[in-house]
Amino acid sequence: WVLQFKDGIKSNSQIKMEKAEADEAVGYCKAEVGKIVSMLKGYESDLERVVRAHDLICDNFTYDTTLESNNIYSFLKTKKGTCQGYTWTYMAVLRELGIDCRYVASDRIAHIWLMVKIDGEWYHSDATWDDPPSAEGSGRKSRVHLLFSDEKADNDGYTNRYGAENIECQSKLYD
């Protein structure tokens, strides 16, 4: 079963479960995403919403060093996960807020993250790398990979990108 939201957001990780259980999982994901979205309603600009969504995800979830929690459902359920959980959750939240975003991947670094559109400009945004694992769990959040250009992406090792080939992140406003 593939979890899918109304805007076509999919978790690439397939989860084997009965239809009733899958329906419950989809409902759970929608409800959890809805809770995050409701915390962002007071923010007026797309920039504020993107920054706050990033921070909420980094503050409330932990990187799964066992690499077992690798889809949106397990990420939301266990509050830990890999880049898939961070990225699909971040994308689901932003899309529910009406913010244009796309996921992008790199086979060189075996990683996925987002590109988000703010005020007509595209930027890379990676909540996973801004919430590094530690012995204490989460809590070492940064904003180093919050909004950045293609140039910074290349310099930071985000190379061999695919998934959003026609999008260029030219602005260095937040680099």
User: What is the tens place of the pLDDT at every residue in 98-119?
Assistant: 999 999 999 889 999 999 999 9
pLDDT tops 80 at residue 16: no
> Contact at 8 Å (CB) between 91 and 148?
no
User: H or E stretch including 111?
Assistant: strand 111-118
Please give the pLDDT value at position 25: 86
Tokens 């503050």 locate to: 59
134 confidence band (pLDDT: 50, 70, 90):
low
Q: What is the pTM of this model?
A: 0.88
**DSSP assigned state of 81:** E
Please give the pLDDT value at position 8: 45
Q: Mind listing the pLDDT tens digit for each residue in 29-53?
A: 999 999 999 999 899 999 999 999 9
Please give the pLDDT value at position 3: 47
Please give the pLDDT value at position 15: 61
Please give the pLDDT value at position 21: 78
Please give the pLDDT value at position 43: 94
Better-predicted residue by pLDDT, 143 or 134 = 143
11 confidence band (pLDDT: 50, 70, 90):
very low
**Nearest one of 21, 24, 27, 33 to 57, comparing CA atoms:** 33
The C-alpha atoms of residue 32 and residue 29 are separated, in whole angstroms, by 5
Query: The tokens of 101 are what?
Result: 């975003």
Please calculate the CA angle 158-162-167 and round it to the nearest 5 degrees.
90
Please give the pLDDT value at position 7: 42
Instruction: Give the number of other CB atoms < 10 A from CB of residue 69.
Output: 23
Query: The tokens of 55 are what?
Result: 């921070």
The C-alpha atoms of residue 155 and residue 175 are separated, in whole angstroms, by 11
